[in-house]
Amino acid sequence: MSRGALGLFAVMCVVWGIPYFLIRIAVGEISPVMLVFARTAIGALILMPIVLAKWIPLLVFAALEIGGPWFFLSSAEQNISSSLAALLISCVPLIGIVVSPLFGRQEGIGLGA
């Protein structure tokens, strides 16, 4: 690994770890439930303009990507092994590629030429 790549990796590690360090500090002052609520509320406010502009495709996406897996995984964990369930979960990005033409995405996924 080159020195530049090693430096970038170190910076990424620090940037990736800072939120967890700050969470550790914040939990000393407020309850974990309140912290999760505040972080979620801030994220929701930031994403609200996107939600308001494209709420129908977002609702369909949420049903397919969040609602569906929760429903199916609850029964799958009772009937199949956890390792098979994990493999099925890893297929979620492939499902996104399959359904993306339904929402107007016409270009490829960027593999190859």
Entry pTM: 0.44
| Contact predicate 64/99, CB 8 Å | yes
CA angle 15, 34, 54 (to 5 degrees): 70
- Residue 68's Cβ-side half-sphere holds a number of Cα atoms within 13 Å equal to 12
65-69, 80-84, 108-112: lowest mean pLDDT where?
108-112
On the question of pLDDT at 111 being above 70, the answer is no
Q: Can you give the pLDDT at residue 110?
A: 53
pLDDT digits (tens, 9 = 90+) for 42-69: 999 999 998 898 888 888 888 887 888 7
| Contact predicate 64/95, CB 8 Å | yes
H helices of the chain, in order, are: 3-27, 32-53, 55-62, 68-79, 82-89, 92-99
Q: Can you give the pLDDT at residue 104?
A: 74
pLDDT digits (tens, 9 = 90+) for 7-35: 999 999 999 899 888 888 988 899 989 99
pLDDT digits (tens, 9 = 90+) for 94-107: 887 887 788 776 66
On the question of pLDDT at 108 being above 70, the answer is no
| Contact predicate 26/35, CB 8 Å | yes
